Amino acid sequence: MKSKLLAIALLVFVLSACGAAADVGEILPTLMPDMPGPAQAPEPSYLKINGQVQTAKVGSFCWDYTDENGTPVGGACQDSIGISTPIEPLPATKTITAQLSLPYAAPPDRLALEVFAASSENEVHLEEGADLRLWSYTDGIKVELDLQPQQEVKIELEPGLYVFYMSAGWNVKGDVMYGFLVEVK
């Protein structure tokens, strides 16, 4: 009996080692019995300056999801090696009046915005053809935000390239990091 159990355990071990390896940055869902499909990443947020809109890149997150009855059935987490932003910056002037828009109507339970200078020293270099840019976190300016899904933000910055790094969290869904890239002329 022991030898049969050992053989079964060895077979399970060998077969599980034959699975596909996960790519770095792949969403790894927490599988639950009868899970109703793959986990969905959080939707992006938006930044509007002078009539132009930039869609945020979604960075690190831990996100729960539910079935059609609202019952929690799993979740997904993804860690990023830096703060993800779009490739092209959103143009702005020295005095910025921006509108931030979260993708969900429910007010967040946590919301923070930090702005820091982007430079070649804090850019994480990616393969050519990547659809985003990555930045190492650098201390910057903390901007007070209301716990509202849409709001206006006013900030004054010197000319240069900046990362707008926003973290948002909803107790019922999870936490997500958003990145925007803004160039002040």
Residue ranges of domains in the chain: 26-184
Q: What is the mean pLDDT of residues 53-71?
A: 88
The yes-or-no verdict on residue 83 having pLDDT over 90 is yes
3-state secondary structure of 3: helix
Do the strands 174-184 and 90-92 form a parallel or antiparallel pair, or are they unpaired?
parallel
- Summarised one tens digit per residue, pLDDT across range 133-166 is 999 999 999 998 999 999 999 999 999 999 999 9
- Summarised one tens digit per residue, pLDDT across range 87-140 is 999 999 999 999 999 999 999 999 999 999 999 999 999 999 999 999 999 999
Query: What per-residue confidence (pLDDT) applies to 68?
Result: 77
Looking at the DSSP bridge assignments, the partners of residue 167 are 112, 177
Alpha helices in 52-153 (DSSP H): none
- Summarised one tens digit per residue, pLDDT across range 10-36 is 333 333 333 333 333 333 333 333 333
> How many angstroms separate the CA atoms of 166 and 77, rounded?
17
Q: What is this structure's pTM? A: 0.77
